A = this chain, B = another copy of it.
Amino acid sequence: MGEGSPRANGAANVTMTDVARAVGVSPALVSIVMRGVPGASPATRARVRQAAAELGYVPDRRAQALRQQGPRSLGVAFQPDQEFHAGVVDGIYAAAEETGYEVVLSAVTPLRPEARAISTLLANRCGALLLIGSTLSAAELSREAARLPVVVIARQGRAKDVEFVCSDDEAGLVSAVRYLVGLGHRQIAYLSSYRSGSGPQRLHGYRKAMAEVGLGDLTDVVTAGSTEQSGALAAVGLLERPSLPTAVIAFNDRCLAGVHGMLLKRGVQVPQDVSLVGFDDSEIASQPQHRFTSVHQDIEWLGQTAAHNAISRIEGRDDLHRPQVVPTRLVVRESAGPPRRT
């Protein structure tokens, strides 16, 4: 109502100087106390801490960063609607905060392209760029990498000065195919995701494995995607065929969940009629209505490795975590079994 001021905050922003005045010491001393570095007597420390708490003082990170020498933050571009990214972000936080680095998040959404997310990060002078599932071209990535360390997560590729940290997608798919072949399957279809970061590697793993076990001419790739929706649609396509494949591997668990739902709806039994294998070993896979056999990837470790490597590069060290291709392993549950005898 009678609030004419442009600043309606109940409490004005408390600065270091305010705390210093309250205690009757110099600002520099407050700085020393707040950072926990040596150079203040225990008595002063206590008084400063108390005054800070009473005034509700929180050090201004932006001013700190501005004054400090090297960059001490990691810029992360991620997609908030991909729950896969959540795990990676968690891993990054774990590794970064442990090392005293701050994490600066920038979302990529339908309305907010990756380039925009990156320029925000750059404007915040983060020391490195961690791009989860980036869709930038190798040239674009290298252009950024000329400026600061760039780590691309969950996508394979090659680009000058750019690090790629990802799971061993190819080996994961190979293990899935081998497992199904071991159960006696021959007609093994693969639902691919053309646009996902690791799409090409998984597809390649499938092709390679099928060829290796002598089923090259039964190779059966169906274009799907990375969502339940795409899986359900792909399943409809499969159901329209004269006969179903005996096993289906999907790009990821979400896609497979769509397949599973649609198959159940049409009365197809899993694994009796069709065996199903997913990828990610996400929560979906372990849910009681699915119980998917799935290729596990260590998502948090992906994030931690990426953060660790980014920090190494920022600090000019060369102790990059290896392998940057993180191993995968097949987790067996109940969605795959031997094929019906013909």
Residues of A that sit less than 8 Å from B by CB:
1, 3-11, 13, 56, 58-63, 65-66, 70, 78-81, 83, 85-87, 89-90, 93-94, 102-103, 105-107, 109-112, 119-120, 122-125, 145-149, 161, 227-229, 232-233, 235-236, 257-258, 260-262, 264-265, 283-284, 286-290, 313-316, 318
Known: A63-B66, A90-B112, A264-B264. 15 other contacts (CB 8 A): A4-B316, A10-B161, A59-B123, A61-B120, A66-B66, A78-B80, A79-B86, A80-B89, A80-B90, A89-B109, A93-B109, A93-B111, A228-B283, A229-B287, A261-B290
Known interface pairs A59-B123, A65-B62, A109-B86. Does A227 touch B283 (Cβ–Cβ under 8 Å)?
yes
Separation of A117 and B286 alpha carbons in the complex (Å): 30
Separation of A260 and B236 alpha carbons in the complex (Å): 18
Known interface pairs A61-B123, A86-B109, A123-B59. Does A289 touch B11 (Cβ–Cβ under 8 Å)?
no
- B83, B105, B258, B315: the one within 8 Å of A105 (CB): B105
The reply to whether A107 and B123 contact each other, CB–CB distance below 8 Å, is no
Closest to A87 in B: B81
B contact residues around A90 at 8 Å (CB): 80, 107, 109-112
Known interface pairs A107-B89, A288-B232, A316-B8. Does A13 touch B125 (Cβ–Cβ under 8 Å)?
yes
- B262, B290, B315: the one within 8 Å of A289 (CB): B262
The reply to whether A123 and B85 contact each other, CB–CB distance below 8 Å, is no
The reply to whether B70 and A81 contact each other, CB–CB distance below 8 Å, is no
B contact residues around A70 at 8 Å (CB): 6-7
The reply to whether A11 and B147 contact each other, CB–CB distance below 8 Å, is yes
Known interface pairs A83-B83, A262-B288. Does A66 touch B56 (Cβ–Cβ under 8 Å)?
no
The residue among A5, A287, A315 with the most chain B CB atoms within 10 A of its own CB is A287
Can you list 22 contacts pairing A with B, beta carbon distance less than 8 Å? A6-B315, A7-B316, A8-B149, A56-B147, A58-B123, A62-B65, A66-B66, A78-B80, A80-B89, A90-B107, A90-B109, A90-B110, A93-B111, A102-B120, A227-B283, A232-B288, A233-B288, A235-B289, A236-B288, A258-B287, A258-B288, A258-B289
Closest to A81 in B: B86
The reply to whether A62 and B66 contact each other, CB–CB distance below 8 Å, is yes
Known interface pairs A6-B315, A93-B109, A107-B93. Does A60 touch B228 (Cβ–Cβ under 8 Å)?
no
Known interface pairs A62-B125, A93-B107, A106-B105. Does A288 touch B229 (Cβ–Cβ under 8 Å)?
yes
Separation of A145 and B8 alpha carbons in the complex (Å): 11
B contact residues around A4 at 8 Å (CB): 316
Separation of A70 and B102 alpha carbons in the complex (Å): 24
B contact residues around A229 at 8 Å (CB): 283, 286-288
Separation of A119 and B58 alpha carbons in the complex (Å): 8
The residue among A63, A66, A80 with the most chain B CB atoms within 10 A of its own CB is A80
The reply to whether B123 and A60 contact each other, CB–CB distance below 8 Å, is yes
Separation of A6 and B311 alpha carbons in the complex (Å): 11
